[in-house]
Amino acid sequence: MTSKIAVIAGAQGIVGRALVEQLRTSGDWDIVSLSRRAADAEPGVRHVQVDLLDAGDCSAKLRDVGEATHVFFTAYAPRATAAEEVAPNLTMVVNLVETLERVAPRLAHVQLMQGTKWYGNHLGPFRTPTREDDPRHMPPNFYYDQQDWLEARQYGKRWSWSALRPHCICGFSVGSPMNHLMALSLYATLSRELGLPLRFPGRPEAFGALYQFTDARLLARAMEWAATSTACENQAFNMTNGEPERWKNLWPDIAGYFGMEAGDVQQITLTRVMADKGPLWARMCEKYQLKPYALDQLVNWSFADWAYTTPYDQVSSLATARRAGWNEVVDTSAMFRSLVADLVTRKVIPPAPVRSGTAVGRTD
């Protein structure tokens, strides 16, 4: 057993998956993954199937993880409204932390995963670049309830807390379809199969607005850093690839990574136009020998519609993280190239056709 034992709540989601891979690669951790769903066995990972909304289930299932030192909370319970999300998402944090406080005497750190909804990006234009001490928007926002409870609970304790606020997380996941990479990749692949160019499906203003992206792999490295650095104790940090971009600048490269021509902006409602594409996707899975995931396992089109139609800048300052010692930067175009290639390797999407005499995407 190593000296650091990570308990990852929501380990099958986009962030949780990336964190499992990061900590396993790091080699300094024993890993306990938590989720409501059963999970395939992974080398070096002990999985516990537990309902974090049920305090009794937490007590029964987690009493054997008393060696835990670090908690990474990446779980999310979606509900129809922001007000309805508060109770379940707070309850999960409370049940997990209270249970581990009772059984884990070496508990050192609890980390929350948040996002730019902290600043109200889902409500309309907001002050940019965001800073961690910006005034809150009018609640409800379950991030506020989780952090307020955790701060109060930690006061005077030996363990510390941190929170990370990424934006537009990109990475592979199944069963957590609020995922920018999967929405873009499935939209592009279906467009290519239908002989279409890759058109930006949102508003022209969103195509040109400043936006920011977060590679899930970078985020996982930042999570490990924040959870183990004394400079990060009891603080929140914005966390992105390092500089903002515009979809219109990235779009030719992205189209190239899918072996497609870049089209113009053509606003469509993906929720509506993708409603009948399930059979086409099933045929593509058979044709290209892909893993037989259903479309709704991979992408939430209403989430994609929102992401592609926000017409205002969305930029976060990384000054707080920089002062604490975080200096990593990821080129966003290179991130998309790498992640698209990874989806092909995983047999989630088919490979791009070779375009004779044409370089596909950037190579820098």
Residue-wise pLDDT tens digits, 172-190: 998 877 789 999 999 999 9
Q: Let me know whether 80 and 221 are in one domain.
A: yes
Q: Let me know whether 58 and 114 are in one domain.
A: yes
Judge contact between 123 and 173, C-beta under 8 A: no
Q: Let me know whether 297 and 308 are in one domain.
A: yes
**Is 324 inside a domain boundary?**
no
- Quick check: 360 pLDDT over 70? no
- Quick check: 23 pLDDT over 70? yes
Q: Let me know whether 37 and 140 are in one domain.
A: yes
**Is 323 inside a domain boundary?**
no
Residue 38 confidence (pLDDT): 85
- Quick check: 358 pLDDT over 80? no
User: For residues 167 and 217, what is the distance between their CA atoms, to the nearest angstrom?
Assistant: 13
Q: Let me know whether 62 and 24 are in one domain.
A: yes
User: For residues 201 and 3, what is the distance between their CA atoms, to the nearest angstrom?
Assistant: 48
pLDDT per residue over 299-320, tens digit each? 999 999 999 999 999 999 999 9
Residues of the domain holding 97: 4-168+213-238
Q: Let me know whether 55 and 129 are in one domain.
A: yes
**Is 234 inside a domain boundary?**
yes
- Quick check: 323 pLDDT over 80? yes
**Is 352 inside a domain boundary?**
no
Q: Let me know whether 202 and 146 are in one domain.
A: no
Q: Let me know whether 228 and 290 are in one domain.
A: no
**Is 106 inside a domain boundary?**
yes
pLDDT per residue over 80-128, tens digit each? 999 999 999 999 999 999 999 999 999 999 999 999 999 999 999 999 9
The mean pLDDT value for 30-47 works out to: 90
What DSSP line would sit under 224-286, residue for residue? HHHHH-GGGTTEEEE--SSS-EEHHHHHHHHHHHTT--EEEE----HHHHTTT-HHHHHHHHH
Look up the pTM and report it: 0.95
pLDDT per residue over 216-249, tens digit each? 999 999 999 999 999 999 999 999 999 999 999 9
User: For residues 273 and 205, what is the distance between their CA atoms, to the nearest angstrom?
Assistant: 21
Q: Let me know whether 121 and 251 are in one domain.
A: no
When divided into structural domains, the chain yields a total of: 2
- Quick check: 1 pLDDT over 90? no
- The band of 362, judged by pLDDT with boundaries at 50, 70 and 90, is very low
Q: Let me know whether 194 and 302 are in one domain.
A: yes
Residue 354 confidence (pLDDT): 79
CATH of the domain at 233: 3.40.50.720
Across the chain, what does the average pLDDT equal? 95
Percent of the chain with pLDDT over 70: 97
**Partners of residue 130 on adjacent β-strands:** 316
Q: Let me know whether 229 and 257 are in one domain.
A: no
Task: Specify the long-range contacts of residues 354-358, CB closer than 8 Å, at least 24 apart.
Answer: 354/259, 355/259
Exposed, middle or buried, 176 (CB in 10 Å: 0-12/13-18/19+)? buried
**Is 319 inside a domain boundary?**
no
**Is 141 inside a domain boundary?**
yes
User: For residues 89 and 76, what is the distance between their CA atoms, to the nearest angstrom?
Assistant: 6
**Is 356 inside a domain boundary?**
no
Q: Let me know whether 183 and 158 are in one domain.
A: no
- Quick check: 5 pLDDT over 80? yes
